Amino acid sequence: MAKFSPNSLTFEIDGPRITAQRFRKGFNAFLQMADEVADSVAGKPHAVEWLLSVEPGSVRVHIAPEAIKIPPEKIPVAIDAIQTGLAALEVGDDIWPAHFSEKALEAAKTMGEVLSKSDGELSAVQVRYNGQTTKMSSRSIASVDQLLQGKYVDHGTVEGRIPVLSRRGKTSFSIDDDISGRNINCYFPGELWDDVLRSFDPKMDRRVSVSGLIQYRRNGTPINITVEEFRGLRPKSELPSWSDVLG
């Protein structure tokens, strides 16, 4: 599949003793990370279906995305974000990779752990794309730990659009923040459900404003918010034009 799909990613594991358990752990983490990044780029869950092919005589798996809930032109953006993000974690520049959620970071860390905890039985866990190879190592583990530590909380307001609404366990929705472009989990009390539901717009035209206690990462990136106030904002189609404003 890699030879005819320009958007194909390759997961490769090598070493003198590759157990099924180690391969499964590394590959599952790779797929979880890829799913998280693709969903972030699309702004919707289950954005792509990954089509697999395996090279004969190797422990090398190619995955190529099939667009489900993502515009085809955004697929290269997602694939590039995966490779660029993994490379950044290996460099360890203390910058949160674009479109990487916390789950994506944890999955990347797991990929590094598969190699670092193999007691020499594995020699490489790596990802290839477009002629570039990123070899996972303990540097990725340290980078993820550094990015995820140092959380703090403060009151604030976030504005954006709601791509996902859930009533499983805690009532929650995610919001695509207008400023950072990141997806932020929002937890809200049940009495706000009707207000939130009225503002949920699958076409992503309606914006909302939520205020409450926000949990931030050390670098100031918002993670989630416990909603205290919720307000639906007017969609673009209902906003006055410049001619209306100027009279």
The model's pLDDT over 59-104, given as tens digits with 9 standing for 90+, comes to: 899 999 999 999 999 999 999 999 999 999 999 877 888 889 889 9
Please compute Rg for the chain using Cα positions: 20
What separation in angstroms does the CA of 132 have from each of 9, 43, 87, 88, 125? 10, 27, 10, 13, 14
pLDDT on residue 242 = 56
User: Is 98 part of a structural domain of the chain?
Assistant: yes
Task: Tell me if 63 is assigned to some domain.
Answer: yes
| Residue 30 binned pLDDT confidence (cut-offs 50, 70, 90) | very high
What gap in Å lies between CA 206 and CA 232, rounded to an integer?
8
Q: At residue 212, does pLDDT exceed 90?
A: yes
Q: Which stretch of DSSP H or E encloses residue 88?
A: helix 75-91
- CATH number where 187 lies: 2.40.50.140
Number of domains in the chain: 2
Give whichever of 55-59, 189-193, 240-244 has the largest mean pLDDT. 189-193
Q: Residue 159's domain spans which residues?
A: 152-238
Say yes or no to pLDDT of 3 above 70. no
Q: Is residue 169 domain-resident?
A: yes
Q: Do residue 162 and residue 116 come from a single domain?
A: no
27 and 129 in a single domain? The answer is yes
Residues 133 and 92 in one domain: yes
User: Are residues 167 and 114 both part of a single domain?
Assistant: no
| pLDDT per residue as tens digits for the range 7-29 | 999 999 999 999 999 999 999 99
